[in-house]
Structure 1
Amino acid sequence: IIATVYLFIVMVDIAPRVSVKNNLSNLDTLNKSTLWYAESEDLKSLEDGITYIVPNIVHFIKFGDNPLSFVEAVCIRAAWLHQRPETLIIHCDQCNKTVQSPLWYLIKDIPVLKLQTTVRPTEVFGIKFSYIQHASDVVRLQVLMKYGGIYLDSDSYIVKSLDPYRRYKMSIGWPPGANVGNQVLVAHKDTRYLKLCYESYREYRPDLWYWNAGVLPTERFLSVHPELVHSVPHDFGVAESDAQILYAKCDDSWKNYSAFHLFFRHIGTYVPPEPKRFGPITIDTVSKYDRNFGQLARLVLYGTTKLGASEIKSIDWLSKHPPEYSEYGCKLPPSSPKN
């Protein structure tokens, strides 16, 4: 017998809408009529063969006319290879620019890949977006509320299947002592947390980078009702300190994670010596990149973590051959030239 526990807390005293200031006390006016509830989401004790409650659909969002980047191609290949979704959707407002990208060949043959034209909003609840990334923050909520599934930022890499988290209505990375990370989300379309986050954009702060996406839901919702989600302290790799694992080390520590937010555009911020030490990490240089990100990228590009591997494998080849976790992921084999 499966028991589902519901806790109802009715919040009354509806107050007029006011603008949010730079402190949490002003959030007391937000969603005063909300009917809070929490559900026991732990389904891991159920018998084998359980039907997952989150569909095996992977979502990416790509807004703007920039071509498909190296790290985007790597992450899309990783999502397909390691998750094996039923559908992999890129929600894009200029999908033709993605198809015309020089690196399109790296992902075009993924059999479940779908490009879905999506209008990029310019405002939310009448408030104009200040950053294109804020539009993406809102659209990811809308996409998950419509379809459910797994949302990944364009630089979020699946290391191994996220199926264990598909047994929860809502899973989100929440490092200890930090705000939640919205870069990797696993959600049923009807989970309450998504609706709360979306409605909170009635108090959108365009002047604050991560207020609505991370600070507000952490402080206003999850600090009070942590049972709204299945929190993932480490396994989604969304903590800023995880950049050290990716760009300051070369070992097997990355295998202890199910996913990583790669912080690819911020390597110089979190690992300052690295850009000068190695230079730009690109499709042409990653073959020789001797840090853990190099292993991750080579695995989905070349089918092996081996340092120095350089033959890009087709999607068809990767579908027929298991990935190779080489003992030479961090050092060249004895017979290999160093240059």
Structure 2
Amino acid sequence: MKNELATKNKNRTAELKMKVVAALTTTPPPGPLREESCDIETALLFLRMNKNSSIDNYTDPLANVIPIGGLDWLFNKTVPCVLDQKIFNSTNHEQFQTFISCSNEAVTVKKIKIDSNSSAQIFKFPDACLGKVISTSCEDGKRVPNVVHYIWFGNIAFDFIYFVSFYSVHKYQKPCLILLYYEFLPSGKWWDLLRHIVHNIVLVQMTPPTLISGKKIKFVQHKADITRLKILKEYGGIYVDTDEYFLRPGDELRNSNCTMGKAHDRSIGSALIYAEKGALFIDKWIDSYNNYDPSKWGDNSVLMAEKLARKFPDLIHVFEHHCAFYPHGLVLYNQNYKWSHSYGLHIYKTGHIPELQKINFETVRNINNTIGAVFRYILFGSKELCSS
């Protein structure tokens, strides 16, 4: 078995070097769409950061890392795609939800059975009891608690794509709690199915902010930008955008005070943030909103994160490999991108909502691009196109 693995790794490294040489010596297509796989982008990043190195002495850091999704990325075969009915058939099992209570003596987190007449437990932000739960019941020895935060501002439909995001977090990250901060509670069949499957979603009702530093907020996205920082300052945890998808756990990223990833355009992505409670980087980011300009789209979000990371490098771990979270958006819809060593993917839903709204358990079976492969991997456990 060891000899077989060594041979595969040797062949893989040789093939990778050939592709990197081709990428370095071939005139790239217009725009930043060079990506074929995370493997190639990792090698190119190494060469860019180590000017005195060459592809001849490059050692693939991913050679002995077990790839997710398997070794075959040709997509020239089909497999049976069968949903686990014990999980996805909501009519076959009872519904449970997490119930939280606090007293002077103890914090209680338990799973209770509910029915259609049960009232959901709803919290406000900030909440001292939630803070106690996160710091005690969700404590696992890492700096960043294994608690996921989603923001749901605006009265938008809870489509299948959002169901898959939440389910991917539940399946791969296995958080202690998933906190949903909402203005209007989601509804519909995909929300109902999610509530049947995922029992540790905690509802936090919030009125979105209307002002930042006395200035009226123009975009709903800016409301979410400042809110995510205040949430992380108060509780710590993992902030996740609703169009971010987990492909494996990121527990090793919870050992730093704050971790963010680079996007394909070299900016720092804010769709996924790991931060401990009261992280100094988050504090400085919040302080930057004293100069908030409501007319500028990303100045206080991704652009400010990049500026602060350069100014205070000791306060943040920047994950340089953009293929880990943020490949170029075109590789998601126009081709099959090799995400075998990615932690997750941000699918850049803006501009693609009509086609994304057509995805469901049936249509996803034959979508021959990265989005289809990622969704199948999350839902069926295999990235391959479906035979049934």
Superposition TM-score, scaled by structure 2 size: 0.59
Alignment pair present for 1:250 and 2:250: no
CA distance in 2: counterparts of 1:217 and 1:111, whole angstroms: 33
Deviation at 1:51, TM superposition (A): 1.8
Structure 1 residue aligned with 2:312: 225
Does structure 2 conserve the Cα–Cα contact (< 8 Å) formed by 1:171 and 1:229?
yes
CA distance in 2: counterparts of 1:153 and 1:242, whole angstroms: 17
Does structure 1 conserve the Cα–Cα contact (< 8 Å) formed by 2:264 and 2:328?
no
Alignment pair present for 1:180 and 2:257: no
Deviation at 1:302, TM superposition (A): 3.6
CA distance in 1: counterparts of 2:324 and 2:295, whole angstroms: 27
Structure 1 residue aligned with 2:189: 102
Q: Deviations over 1:86-143 (max 9, x none)?
A: 0011110112xx1x22321331120211221122111112111100010000000011
Alignment pair present for 1:78 and 2:165: no
CA distance in 1: counterparts of 2:286 and 2:237, whole angstroms: 17
CA distance in 2: counterparts of 1:55 and 1:236, whole angstroms: 24
Structure 2 residue aligned with 1:190: 278
SS at match of 1:114: strand
CA distance in 2: counterparts of 1:279 and 1:149, whole angstroms: 28
SS at match of 2:195: coil
Structure 2 residue aligned with 1:213: 301
Deviation at 1:193, TM superposition (A): 0.7
CA distance in 2: counterparts of 1:93 and 1:215, whole angstroms: 27
Amino acid at match of 1:164: E
RMSD, aligned α-carbons = 2.3
Query: How many residue pairs are counted as aligned between the two chains?
Result: 247
Structure 2 residue aligned with 1:11: none
Amino acid at match of 1:74: V
Does structure 2 conserve the Cα–Cα contact (< 8 Å) formed by 1:159 and 1:255?
no
Structure 2 residue aligned with 1:22: none
Structure 2 residue aligned with 1:167: 255
Question: What does 1:44-193 align with in structure 2 at a 5 Å threshold?
Answer: 51-95=141-185, 98=186, 100-109=187-196, 110-175=198-263, 178-193=266-281
CA distance in 2: counterparts of 1:266 and 1:222, whole angstroms: 29
SS at match of 1:115: strand
CA distance in 2: counterparts of 1:247 and 1:76, whole angstroms: 21
Select the structure with the greater relative contact order (CA < 8 A; seq sep ≥ 6).
2
Does structure 1 conserve the Cα–Cα contact (< 8 Å) formed by 2:143 and 2:256?
yes
Evaluate the alpha carbon distance shift between residue 237 and residue 123 of structure 1 in structure 2; reply closer, same or farther with a 3 A threshold.
farther
CA distance in 1: counterparts of 2:260 and 2:291, whole angstroms: 22
Alignment pair present for 1:285 and 2:373: no
Evaluate the alpha carbon distance shift between residue 129 and residue 293 of structure 1 in structure 2; reply closer, same or farther with a 3 A threshold.
same
CA distance in 2: counterparts of 1:224 and 1:177, whole angstroms: 19
Does structure 1 conserve the Cα–Cα contact (< 8 Å) formed by 2:263 and 2:322?
no
Evaluate the alpha carbon distance shift between residue 151 and residue 190 of structure 1 in structure 2; reply closer, same or farther with a 3 A threshold.
same
SS at match of 1:266: coil
Q: Deviations over 1:220-270 (max 9, x none)?
A: x2222222200011267454x43244223326x2121102111122359xx
CA distance in 2: counterparts of 1:53 and 1:216, whole angstroms: 24
Q: Deviations over 1:174-230 (max 9, x none)?
A: 2476221111100101211101111111111111111100112322x2222222200
Amino acid at match of 2:377: L
CA distance in 2: counterparts of 1:285 and 1:104, whole angstroms: 19
Gaps of 5+ in 2: 1-139
SS at match of 1:199: helix
SS at match of 1:186: strand
Amino acid at match of 1:247: Y
SS at match of 2:350: helix
Evaluate the alpha carbon distance shift between residue 279 and residue 170 of structure 1 in structure 2; reply closer, same or farther with a 3 A threshold.
closer
Structure 2 residue aligned with 1:261: 346
CA distance in 2: counterparts of 1:279 and 1:148, whole angstroms: 31
Evaluate the alpha carbon distance shift between residue 105 and residue 199 of structure 1 in structure 2; reply closer, same or farther with a 3 A threshold.
same
CA distance in 1: counterparts of 2:357 and 2:274, whole angstroms: 32
CA distance in 2: counterparts of 1:65 and 1:267, whole angstroms: 19
Does structure 2 conserve the Cα–Cα contact (< 8 Å) formed by 1:57 and 1:85?
yes
Does structure 1 conserve the Cα–Cα contact (< 8 Å) formed by 2:258 and 2:279?
yes
Deviation at 1:153, TM superposition (A): 0.7
Deviation at 1:66, TM superposition (A): 1.2
